[in-house]
Structure 1
Amino acid sequence: MVPAMTRRRAAFGVFRHVVLSAWTLIVLFPVAWMVLTSFKDAGDWVSWPTRWFPFLDFEPTLLNYRQIFYIGGTTASGELRREASEQAYAIWKGVVDSGVIVTIASLASLVLGAALAYAISRFRTGGRNYPYTILTVRMLPPIVIAIPMLIYYTSLPEFFRAVFNVRVAFFDTYHGLILLYIVTTLPYVIWMMLAFIDAVPRELEHAARLMGATRLTTLRVVVFPLVASGMAVTLLFVFILNWSEFLLALTLTQPNVLTLPVLLNKFQSAVEGRLYGPQAAIGTVVTLPVVVFGLLIQKHLVKGFSFGMIRR
């Protein structure tokens, strides 16, 4: 009986690893294909048969990256490719705009959401079903609020001029998109941080209060350090949402503000159609910050994913 059970467990383990390995290959294949395409010249983007292996099937080139970053580089004729020189794709502006907007919006959403989650956890603000009510905000697809927010943002300057005698623009500005990103990601932050804060023993807070700490001091010194791993997980999740957001940025920005997902959709050429090489290069650049950020907080991610599984 025991050997048979052992064989079944071993067989199940092998089957599980085979399935997970196959699924990993399926998930990583588009990423690998994007990276390979970013190093291909125009003639290799859609060639048939497909050219898979660099240096064997095709000669890698950095021309796509030189085009999107405008750091020089020439073709065989000694000039940048015609479509790249004629179309002004400000990749550096997209990097800066996305970096500023996403960083500020993610950090602000994390701080506000953690504080609201603490209030809900400890004071039962809004009642038992309040967290579910907050989460229903995200059930609406972005396209539902995109056009109303466009009308709202274009009307706000006149409102501020009439009431405060000052014109405050929200359309195509950093603060307009930051505020919208905070509002759209706040329900996720509250929901995720609520689970982490609920796992913190209340006795620790009571002890801090008995020693003279105020509520804010208790929150800053006791609660937040204990849920730091959960905050790292939540920050990464919100950062990915904001970093990859496309529809709201497309509707509420341009030309003054240009995020990378919007820029990624712009690469077209009358000569070659869609420029898959520069698009793949930008896609690789967009993916790198998320990967690097995840690696930097990797130890916090492991703690955060397992936080609260073992009760005191």
Structure 2
Amino acid sequence: MSARMAGGAIPALRGRVQAGVVLAPFTWFRVGGPAEWLVRPADAEDVVALLRHRPAGMPVTVIGAASNLIIRDGGLPGAVLRLGGAFGGIAVEAEGIVAGAAALGATVAEHAAAAGLAGLEFLCGIPGSVGGAVVMNAGAYGTEVKDVLDWAEVATPRGIERLPAAAFRFAYRQASVPPEMVVVRARFRAAPGERAAILARMRAIRAAREAAQPVRARTGGSTFKNPPGRKAWELIDAAGCRGMRCGGAEVSEKHCNFLINTGGATAADLESLGEAVRARVLATSGIALEWEIRRLGLPAGGMTGQ
């Protein structure tokens, strides 16, 4: 059966469709309002059916692991896709790994290490899933997704398409992925290596991340992109923002390019704090920081007030 919504109906899908599900529990920040419709597709063909038959103008948003995302307090209109187990498969191939969009980057790195494949260790230092890593050209410790991606399969209204890495026109922390396109699977290049050395590299990455970042807090990863030739955290620190607060949101004392929900923050608190940091950095350095964290949805009361 299809589900009714303002302006039309969600097409019949084999996966699960729910109305008004609060999204905060799915996000690393633990903030955010409801999805108008939360869709958990059964497989890639379900995603194609949604994209092909959704009402005209109905937005479709993929939230993935929601590790680098602020969902605003008013929630997300339209269909919010959360890709589950059917998209979590990982297969080891000769000199490469094929992984579903819902597979965690850290799990991909572990599979590569177990198979004696080197070059994907950096993924263990990036929170989030494969789909999000492709869409944001995630990177850490000297390597980005663009450096190792062979191809990605995407769901579109026309069907499933396999695109080479060049089609995504990767840039720093971004890729060209149109709204009607959903990444469902990807292949990463790797090279044979010594398993002990691969595991040692992963241990070093994890230790460095643990030492430098508030990994056990309710956070969302790096808040702002590094400007050319500069480090965002150094600019934030020089502007006196370390420990700065807004409501329940705080600039991390441990790494000041991270925002933290100290327990009672709203999405508005986090976003307002981020904007206050940007204003201070601009005033002290003349540099306008760009958000790396995606901010989606409506302010509080957005959908209920429509």
Of structures 1 and 2, the one scoring higher in RCO (CA 8 A, sep 6+) is 1
Q: Say whether the fold is shared (TM-score over 0.5).
A: no
Q: TM-score normalised to the size of structure 1?
A: 0.18
Task: Give the TM-score normalised by structure 2.
Answer: 0.19
Structure with more of its chain in strand, by fraction: 2
